Structure 1
Amino acid sequence: MTLPADQPIIDTMIGFPIRDPDGTYGFITRQTKDAGSRRDLRMPAGYMFKDVPDHEDSAIDPVALTLAEMDRHGVAVGLVGIKGEDGRRAVREHPDRFAGCLSVDPNQGMDALREMTAMHAEYAIRAVDVFPAGTFPQVAINDKKMYPIYAKCVELGLPIFVCAGVPGPRVRLEPQRVEYLDEVMFDFPELVLVTRHGCEPWTDLAVKLMLKWPNLYYSTSAFAPKYYPREIVDYANTRGPHKIIYGGYFPMGLPLDRIMAELPGVPFKDSVWPRFLHDNARQVLKLP
């Protein structure tokens, strides 16, 4: 159960230094009601994390900084959002190191579908993501507004990353109940769906649904390795080595130094590590 020292890594949730937290997280804080979320936290789920990376005052180019962190820790490819210019520039200038992911708001209707088509054509995006509890108004995983997004993903051959489980920000959890995934996978058997942010407290149910649905996956985003749910580690070591995908959370909430220092302590079998860190993501994202 040893983490291979030379194992290349695909990080399915990495980003760039956040210079303007209020602007970056405004889409969440506009729907929160507690004073802490609106005023006191550097990020809406900041109460859950310690040592959140702080690069607000850094003069280093954001793309260069993230690339340097990736090089230092053996991250070969990072899946990055392309809503902002940093992400778009990274995908343009370093196509071998960055794969684009488009965050979609199902409230935008046909405009969201047009954006998916345009970004697929221009930036060869490899995935789409949705934060159901962070949409405003909130849109549940199985809401009819989500169905055109799922259908377009199938049409374009793109996986979708969907946050599931209790959200970190202090917003309603209802849109992210894990049982909603069952309906979606039933209606879209061709859809490749990867959960983000833990699926807690329904990780047992998430495992049961991954056993049931061939195209349902789980990523470890936003979790420090020492807190990976036991059910997920056990599943990876038994019937699901092909279903669990590494996702970090740099620089949103976790430094790569901490993630990589804790990873060797995760009790994955030796045969699981290459799949978890690289192979499963490469297959889902259809990377060369």
Structure 2
Amino acid sequence: MTQPISLSSLTAIDVHVHVEVDDEGHTSLGGDLMEASAAYFKSEHRTPTVDEVAGVYRERAMAAVVFAVDHERATGHPPIGNEFVARAAARHPDVLIPFASIDPLRGEAGVGAAARLVTEHGVRGFKFHPSLQNFDPTDRAAFPLYEAISALGVPAVFHTGQTGIGAGLPGGGGIRLGLSDPMLLDEVAATFPDLQIVLAHPSFPWQDEALAIATHKANVWIDLSGWSPKYFPPNLVRYANTLLKDKVLFGSDFPLITPDRWIADFDRLDIKPEVRPKILKENAGRLLGLPQ
């Protein structure tokens, strides 16, 4: 019988891993967007199954937060179901931690879905992608969902900065980068001080804004996914080593970037020895409430 996740048994916790295909072969993105993102990241295996993802992380004694993104309203492409992600993760409770994605403009239906996903399906958090989902995080229509997530006591991850989805397509595939300016989330963090907010990715071209928000707001964290650490801006490394050493999280963006590549490049960064385990697993353990 597989054992649930415990912090002491892990080498790292990857807080940013995408579910790109379900058991029926339905993919997370439509053809043009999928192809553009694969080309942007030069990824070799763009759509591993959840079981394959679990195998990758189990072999490395890592845990992974897994999720899809509901962007159907914006793109017309049906999402990979949240219930599927939860069921698939439940097959691998020793390595996978399920998050869900809800269109924040679904209103009361979204609020009810969030409660069911947490209480009935074991979901441990929520993922938003403002650019791909085509919503402004400060839109008051999204606030009831934020309030519900806060009351449920689970974190919310928001994509910030540039995205490889739509990169190189005419008009970027219609995706608006400005919706992922992390400064928009400062208002969300101030309005919902008990909601734990993760700013996903080095937030190019708004990195200093992300650092300012995470330093100012006790409920804001930063994950380091989507970039190889060798490309991190010096100011991000400086803050990760000092003021934000307890609020920065390892994330790869797998399958777009592999955990092996990310860790190998992270090992070359000038990170203090006592800070490395914080970034790799201890901070995520606190955020997710994992047992020791």
Same structural fold, with TM-score higher than 0.5 when normalized by the shorter chain: yes
Match among 270, 277, 281 for residue 280 of structure 2: 277
Q: Which residue of 2 aligns with 1:46?
A: 38
- Native 8 Å contact 2:98 2:122 kept in 1: yes
- Sequence identity (%): 27
For the Cα contact (< 8 Å) 1:92–1:123, is it kept in 2? no
How many aligned positions are there?
262
Match of 1:189 in 2: 193
- 1:163: Cα distance to partner? 0.9
Determine if the alignment matches structure 1 residue 144 to structure 2 residue 140. yes
Q: Is the 8 A contact 2:11 2:281 kept in 1?
A: yes
The 5 Å alignment of 1:228-243 reads 228-243=232-247
Q: CA distance change for structure 1 residues 142 and 228 in 2, over 3 Å: closer, same or farther?
A: same
Deviations along 1:227-273, one digit per CA (max 9) or x if unpaired, are 2232221101111101110111212x123332233221122111111
SS of aligned partner of 2:99: strand
Match of 1:154 in 2: 150
| Match runs of 1:18-33 below 5 Å | 18=21, 23-26=27-30
Q: 1:78 maps to which residue?
A: 64
Q: Contact between 1:133 and 1:176, CA under 8 Å: does it hold in 2?
A: yes
**Cα distance per residue 1:100-134 (max 9 Å; x no partner):** 10111112111111111111112221111111111
Deviation at 1:44? Answer: 4.0
Aligned CA distance change for structure 1 residues 153 and 84 (closer, same or farther; 3 Å): closer
Q: What does 1:1-288 align with in structure 2 at a 5 Å threshold?
A: 8-16=11-19, 18=21, 23-26=27-30, 39=32, 42-54=34-46, 62-75=49-62, 77-81=63-67, 83=81, 87-135=85-133, 138-169=134-165, 170=172, 171-251=175-255, 253-288=256-291
Q: Deviations over 1:204-246 (max 9, x none)?
A: 1111111110111100121122222322211011111011101
> Which has the higher mean CA deviation after the structures are superposed, 100-109 or 78-87?
78-87
Tell me, what secondary structure is at the counterpart of 1:218?
A: strand
> How far 1:55 sits from its partner (Å)?
5.2
Consecutive unaligned residues of structure 1, counting only runs of 5 or more, are: 1-5, 27-37, 57-61
1: distance between equivalents of 2:135 and 2:47? 32
Q: Distance in 1 between matches of 2:184 and 2:19?
A: 31
Partner AA of 2:217 in structure 1: W
Distance in 1 (CA, whole Å) between partners of 2:126 and 2:82 is 15
CA distance in structure 2 between the partners assigned to 1:279 and 1:69 by the alignment? 21
Which segment is superposed worse, 237-246 or 172-181?
172-181
Please identify runs of 4+ aligned residues in structure 1 that moved more than 3 A: 15-23, 41-44
Q: Structure 2, unaligned stretches of length 5 or more?
A: 1-8, 69-80, 166-171
Q: Against the structure 1 CA distance between its residues 21 and 200, is the aligned structure 2 distance closer, same or farther, given a 3 Å change threshold? A: farther
* Cα distance, 1:54–1:188 mapped onto 2, change above 3 Å: closer
Paired with 1:54 and 1:175, the residues of 2 have a C-alpha distance of 25
Cα RMSD of the aligned pairs, angstroms, is 2.4
